[in-house]
Amino acid sequence: MLIRRPNTIKPSEITDEAVYNSRRQFIAVTAKTAVAAVVTGTMSSVLGLQNAQAALSLPNITKSKYTVEEEQTSFKDVTRYNNFYEFSTDKEGPATLAKNFKTDPWTLRIDGEVNKPATYQLEDFIKPHVLEERIYRLRCVEAWSMVIPWLGISLGDVIKRVEPTSKAKFVEFTTLHDPVQMPGQKRSVLDWPYVEGLRIDEAMHPLSILAVGLYGQVLPNQNGAPIRLVVPWKYGFKSIKSIVRIRLTEHQPKTTWALSGPGEYGFYANVNPNVDHPRWSQARERRIGDFFKRKTQMYNGYADEVAPLYAGMDLKRFY
């Protein structure tokens, strides 16, 4: 298996103060330079993307042992081919329509069945944690996939900070609701705001992360800036973007896609080549950048790590 497990975190691996300050410094600088277009999501040219990638690199990133050794999808494709219905249902639309999306300042509320509910600034959220690069597969329900080097922090570590109560069985995530900035929310294609959820044991699994960047740079707007969920063994729609609230609950959350199409989008959304979408097969997938399709792996290739979470479950019923 290509997943490597980390040992205990060493003090030398803890993110230093530069990471804490870097995001605001980037935003201040980009307000006066052409690179500003990329921080706010403008994708006017591939050259601009490449320059911004170098200019906005986050410092002191730990190379995580939770990673896959596969060819990475190009930076261009990762940042120009996006599902982000808050901006557009077209794959290339978010890169343009998110250009003026304001992600600073940003607050994230964590509450519900916890002993220490809190509201965090993004910088508060990142500072106490190790910022890691984790190269994960992303498999979308539409049968395409990518391999992306995410920069993120452990979701489980964040949840521990608020001290879940014994009633906390699920974790609900909510995206920002701002139709002025997010023009896709003016359409009734989905019920807004976007809501997703995990079981508490899924959320606490070491593969689940909150991503704040990719390819070494601050997360572009169209990829879910400033903070998004990444759960690599589930279909992409579970990895909710631009999160403003995390709520721990006793009961299973009513999630957006499960409400919109309950016969097509189940709560669990685990990558399973043996359970087809009603309108297409999930047995094969096309890696973005490749011509031929490849066989879809159970749990997106993370079965050794996560299959025990679903032992004894009917995976066709709990799809």
Judge whether 6 lies within some domain: no
Judge whether 2 lies within some domain: no
Judge whether 281 lies within some domain: yes
- Angle 120-53-82 (CA atoms, 0-180°, nearest 5)? 70
Which pLDDT score is estimated for 61?
87
Question: Which residues span the domain enclosing 251?
Answer: 13-310
Which pLDDT score is estimated for 42?
30
The domain total for the chain is 1
Distance of CA 28 to the CA centre of its chain: 25
Alpha helices by DSSP H, listed for the chain, are: 17-30, 36-39, 46-55, 75-80, 93-97, 122-126, 155-161, 200-204, 256-260, 303-306
- CATH code: domain of residue 305: 3.90.420.10
Which pLDDT score is estimated for 126?
67
What burial class does residue 91 get, using C-beta atoms within 10 Å of its C-beta: 0-12 exposed, 13-18 middle, 19+ buried? middle
CA distance 186 to 190: 10
Which pLDDT score is estimated for 236?
97
Judge whether 233 lies within some domain: yes
Alpha-carbon torsion (280, 136, 77, 86), positive or negative: positive
Which pLDDT score is estimated for 58?
73
Judge whether 316 lies within some domain: no
Q: In this structure, which amino acid lies at residue 311?
A: A
Which pLDDT score is estimated for 131?
87
Judge whether 129 lies within some domain: yes
What DSSP state is assigned to residue 124?
H
Which pLDDT score is estimated for 44?
33
SS3 of residue 95 by DSSP: helix
Which parts of the chain have pLDDT scores under 70?
1-57, 125-129
Strand partners, 277: 280
Which pLDDT score is estimated for 88?
97
What tokens appear for 297 in the block?
């792996």
Give the H or E element holding residue 213: strand 209-214
Instruction: Give residue-wise pLDDT tens across range 100-156.
Output: 999 999 999 999 999 999 999 988 766 656 789 999 999 999 999 999 999 999 999
Q: Quote the longest CA-to-CA distance of the chain.
A: 57
Taking the whole predicted model, whether its pTM rises above 0.85 is answered as no
End-to-end CA distance of the chain, in Å?
24
Judge whether 115 lies within some domain: yes
Judge whether 315 lies within some domain: no
Cβ 138 vs Cβ 232: under 8 Å = yes
Which pLDDT score is estimated for 85?
98
Cβ 2 vs Cβ 66: under 8 Å = no
SS3 of residue 211 by DSSP: strand
Which pLDDT score is estimated for 38?
32
Which pLDDT score is estimated for 25?
45
